[in-house]
Amino acid sequence: MKTDSPFDKIMNLKMIISILSVFLILTVLITIKKVSSSQDYMTYLKKEIGPDLPTEEPKTQTSTLPYLNGYDWDDINKMKASIFEKTSFKISILQIIIETSMFLKKPVVEDISKLEIYISALDTFYSSPDNRMIPVFFAMKVIEMQQQAIPEENVSAYRSLLLEKFNKPTKS
């Protein structure tokens, strides 16, 4: 029966340590890259979206509203699709909302690197049926307030205003 010599054992240990070190270094590099690419992206959007672009004239509000709310968000969870696809779908939705709000120079959130946090927070927010009439756009503002550690009573007051406004039967 073949047994490893002490030299082989040390070599094996060195190999394992080397692989682990490479993984550790790569994880750190990926994290740094992710943060910097997010910051670059935000800087890019803030810098490159100039003030000279023409925009549509404001339009009078009608009873048929186009925005997404908690019912739409909940429908995504019920979709016949993989978890990867559902998450990817939610990421794109939030990306579009954030980008559109930035094009309009009214950014809904300050840090796009927190998308995963927003997805999880929105899942929690809309798990309460009371919140489902609130548009995703405003739900993100509520979550942003919580992220910024704004006093709970202020967040709660804002949420109550939203509930009052959007629980009226205006959405189809």
Partner 1 sequence: MKKIIILVFLISSILINTVIAKHKIFDGTSWLNIPAQFPSVKNTDHIKDIYIRASEGTAFLSGTPNILYNTHTKDNIILSINLIYENKNNTFLPLYYSLNIIGMQKKGVPTDQINLYISQIKRTFNL
| Nearest-approach distance from CB 1 to partner 1, in angstroms | 26
- Cα 151 to Cα 5, 72, 121: the distances in Å are 64, 29, 17
CB nearer to partner 1: pick between 40 and 130 = 40
Residue with tokens 């080397």: 18
CB nearer to partner 1: pick between 18 and 154 = 18
Q: Which two tokens stand for residue 116?
A: 């995963």
Angle between helices 152-166 and 136-147 (to 10 degrees): 170
Residue with tokens 């109550």: 160
Which residues lie across from 69 on neighbouring strands? 135
User: What's the gap between Cα 30 and its chain centre?
Assistant: 19
CB nearer to partner 1: pick between 92 and 156 = 92
User: Which residues contribute to the site for partner 1 (CB under 8 A)?
Assistant: 15, 18-19, 22-23, 26, 29-30, 33-34, 37-38, 41, 45, 48-50, 52-56, 58-59, 61-62, 64-68, 72, 76, 79-82, 85, 88-89, 91-93, 95-97, 99-101, 103-104, 106, 108, 112, 135-138
| Nearest-approach distance from CB 32 to partner 1, in angstroms | 10
CB nearer to partner 1: pick between 6 and 50 = 50
| Nearest-approach distance from CB 123 to partner 1, in angstroms | 16
DSSP string, 130-150: GGTTSBHHHHHHHHHHHHTT-
CB nearer to partner 1: pick between 101 and 167 = 101
